[in-house]
Amino acid sequence: MITLYDMKTLHTGTRRGLSPHTWKVRFALRFKGIPYTLKCIEIGDIEATAKSIGALPTGKKVDGSPRYTVPFIQDSKTGKIISESFEIIEYLDVAYPETISMIPKGTRVLQGYFADAVYKIIGTQILPVYASAMPTPYQTRETTEWFRINRPQFTKLSPEQEKEGWEKFRSELGELAKLMKETDVFAMGDRVSFADCVLFGQIIVLKFFWDEETTEWKEMMSLHGGRWSRLITAYYNLPDVEIQPEDPSS
Ligand SMILES: N[C@@H](CCC(=O)N[C@@H](CS)C(=O)NCC(=O)O)C(=O)O
């Protein structure tokens, strides 16, 4: 069984979890049909938890010390422990060759570049907008405190700044949408791949900040002819592979 680590929220059941990078892995696992359990930990406990199971850091902090991040996985079938979403999904392709490959042969560089490009659109344009909604009612007190100390740049935006963020986001994501065929659900057309894990992860996390009933989420789902909503639907149309813990709040 695969144990996938994510950050804790006050949501329960399938709405647990927060990281867009963990959502990439959840998307891949569902398309692959591989069962897993999601273990949600406080953001401040990521480093200690990763170290306790032997998960490697994924980068460096500004002071040069190792940075530990979610997602990381522990696979009891193979004994492997892997950090970093791209590495995890690549591992799943190799360790579970009977499942659909998310990084089709010959596309590794393209998939990596695509992920970076999408992250630039989200990270620079819409992330400051949704971060402005923090603290949300579903955030743990520890998360709020962590963001206050570690991400002081996430401040409340003015309505003008929010509007500007939305406009740039709409237009930059729209450029990507234009490159895709009208009826395509996936970045590669009719074939799912890592690129869709990235898009899905970055979009679904908005639901944590905005909830289903908000105008922001509704706008997101109708954007660019409903293209992103079709991707979300493709995920929810598949059987769920997440095994729920006995304690619904864990
Ligand atoms: N490149 C990494 C990025 C992971 C990442 O940035 N995770 C964030 C949560 S969204 C994290 O764990 N942050 C904790 C920290 O910065 O201390 C991946 O794709 O797995």
> Residue 245: its pLDDT value, please?
86
User: Model confidence over 89-130: pLDDT tens digits?
Assistant: 999 999 999 999 999 999 999 999 999 999 999 888 888 888
Closest by CA to 137, choosing from 213, 81, 82, is 213
**Domain boundaries 108-236, CATH class:** mainly alpha
Q: Is the peptide bond before 35 cis (omega within 30 degrees of 0)?
A: no
Q: Residue 248 pLDDT more than 80?
A: no
Nearest CA to ligand 1 atom 14: 69
* Whole-angstrom distance, CA of residue 200 vs CA of residue 73: 19
Q: Residue 27 pLDDT more than 80?
A: yes
Higher pLDDT, 114 or 137: 114
Domain layout of the chain by residue ranges: 2-95, 108-236
The percent of residues above 90 in pLDDT, for the chain, comes to 79
How many A from CA of 182 to the centre of ligand 1? Answer: 33
**Domain boundaries 2-95, CATH class:** alpha beta
Return the bridge partners of 67, or none: 59
> Residue 246: its pLDDT value, please?
82
Give the position, in ligand 1's atom list, of the atom nearest the Cα of 88: 20
Write out the two tokens for 217.
């989420």
Determine if ligand 1 sits within 6 Å of the CB of residue 71: yes
Give the position, in ligand 1's atom list, of the atom nearest the Cα of 67: 17
What is the average pLDDT across 23-36? 98
Nearest CA to ligand 1 atom 8: 69
Write out the two tokens for 145.
């405190």
Mean pLDDT of the chain: 94
Domains 2-95 and 108-236 share a fold: no
Determine if ligand 1 sits within 6 Å of the CB of residue 84: yes
How many A from CA of 186 to the centre of ligand 1? Answer: 24
> Would you say 47 and 99 are in contact if contact means Cβ atoms under 8 Å apart?
no
Q: Give the residue, out of 8, 19, 151, with the most ligand 1 atoms within 8 A of its beta carbon, to mutate for a pocket test.
A: 19
What is the average pLDDT across 2-22? 93
Instruction: Tell me the chain's radius of gyration from C-alpha atoms.
Output: 18
Q: Residue 249 pLDDT more than 70?
A: no
Lowest-pLDDT choice from 48-57, 76-85, 143-152, 205-214: 205-214
User: Model confidence over 198-216: pLDDT tens digits?
Assistant: 999 999 988 888 888 889 8
Determine if ligand 1 sits within 6 Å of the CB of residue 202: no
Count other C-beta atoms under 10 Å from residue 27's C-beta. 26
> Residue 134: its pLDDT value, please?
87
Q: Is the peptide bond before 152 cis (omega within 30 degrees of 0)?
A: no
